[in-house]
Homo-oligomer: A and B are copies of this chain.
Amino acid sequence: MVRYIGVENVTRLVRAIGVEPYLVGLSRYIEDDFRRWPRFDKVPRIASHSPDGVIELMPTSDGTLYGFKYVNGHPANTLAGLQTVTGFGVLADVATGYPQLLAEMTVTTALRTAATSALAARYLARPEARTMALIGLGSQAEFQALGFHAINGIDRLRVFDIDEAATAKFLANMDGRDLVIEVARSAEAAVEGADIITTVTADKRRATILSDNMVGAGVHINAVGGDCPGKTELQREILMRADIFVELPEQTRVEGEIQQLAPDHPVTELWRVIAGEVPGRRSREQITLFDSVGFAIEDFAALRHLRDLADETGFYQDIDLIPAPRDPRNLFGLISATDHALAPLEA
């Protein structure tokens, strides 16, 4: 049997543990896998593009476990009441090739993106950072807010979205949390005095959410929304002033903010910072930028984390995704038993 963790069990699990403790635990799994980055198979995601969006497969392996995620990105979905991004993932045993775990990864991707952002900021933001500007209050916003609260000690948010309904949804979801939230009148107003700027807007085009004059010395920018070809959020001049940290450079150069830059513009791989090979933030004045697009190893870590928690809590089901014939060469035996009768079985 293959272990299945659907939406209901993931949400029960997260509720049982609490979102913030969940994000802290998840960020540790991601940190562990970033530390052993060279051991993973790394290929850019395999994309199938269509006029409405993209469907991607993101595989990786550490030599013992194999994992992949299916994920789509369809910006117009929200007009039809559907989500822009959905996903699911699988872990399999490299030694036998047998799948072990199938899990929803819509909620899980939102959690892992936030955990990765907060992890990166632990190495790149000034340690005393307490105020974050959060621009874009869509489906990722609450996860980012709570990730930075739990992992980085952010206790003050300055938020902005062009859509008042999104702002209202965000405030309702954050009600009762230990965070001071100020709603700004504009993106410019939101970033005033912020130690960290998170941009996580959903527009599928080259937008200028942050312009050069809005970014002061010492800030850490967590650029989450610019994550596919043609979709960016930052004015190019900001990138020229910042030290840029990325997941997999060959993927980020196509999908991230740095698609605006020359293909040889220097960037630092985040894993090298986390593994202690190179410094993260080197000065108080430096502008650091995490150009987040999401990489398969983060999903791999998220699936490991989910699997271990499901083991502990029992929040999973077993499904018959793979047959278990008594004689492995007698696959036909599975269907031959009552075949001769040709009578329909009861449903």
Task: Report A336 CB to chain B, min CB distance, Å.
Answer: 5
A43 touches B (CB below 8 Å): yes
Is A283 interfacial (CB-CB < 8 Å)?
no
Q: Which of B86, B335, B340 meets A99, CB within 8 Å?
A: B86
Known contacts A7-B323, A335-B19; A81 and B48 CB within 8 A of each other? no
> A275 at the A/B interface (Cβ < 8 Å)?
no
Q: Which residues of B contact A96 (CB under 8 A)?
A: 52-53, 72, 74, 77, 80, 82
Kindly list chain B residues whose C-beta atoms are within 8 Å of the C-beta of A334. Answer: 7, 11, 107
Contacts of A169 in B (CB 8 A): 327, 329-330, 333
List B contacts of A95 (CB < 8 A): 50, 52, 74
**Is the Cβ of B332 less than 8 Å from the Cβ of A7?**
no
A15 contacts B86, C-beta separation under 8 Å: no
Return chain B residues, CB-CB under 8 Å to A98.
Answer: 72, 82, 86
The A interface, classified by DSSP as helix, strand, loop or mixed, is mixed
A262 on the B face (CB < 8 A): no
Given A54-B97, A70-B99, 10 more contacts at CB 8 Å? A17-B342, A82-B96, A86-B323, A88-B99, A88-B322, A107-B334, A107-B335, A139-B328, A166-B329, A173-B336
Provide the bound-state CA to CA distance between A243 and B83, in Å: 50
A77 touches B328 (CB 8 A): yes
When all copies of this chain in the complex are counted, the total is: 2
Is A138 touching B329 in the complex (CB atoms < 8 A)? Answer: yes
Contact B57 A339, beta carbon cutoff 8 Å: no
Interface set, chain A 144-186, CB cutoff 8 A to B? 166, 169, 173, 176
A277 at the interface (CB under 8 A from B): no
CB distance from A326 to the nearest CB of B (A): 8
Query: Given known contacts A52-B94, A55-B94, A329-B169, is B19 in contact with A339 (CB within 8 Å)?
Result: yes
Once the chains bind, are A46 and B46 in contact (CB under 8 Å)? Answer: yes
Chain B residues, CB < 8 A from A290: none
Interface residue A331 (Cβ < 8 Å from any Cβ of B)? yes
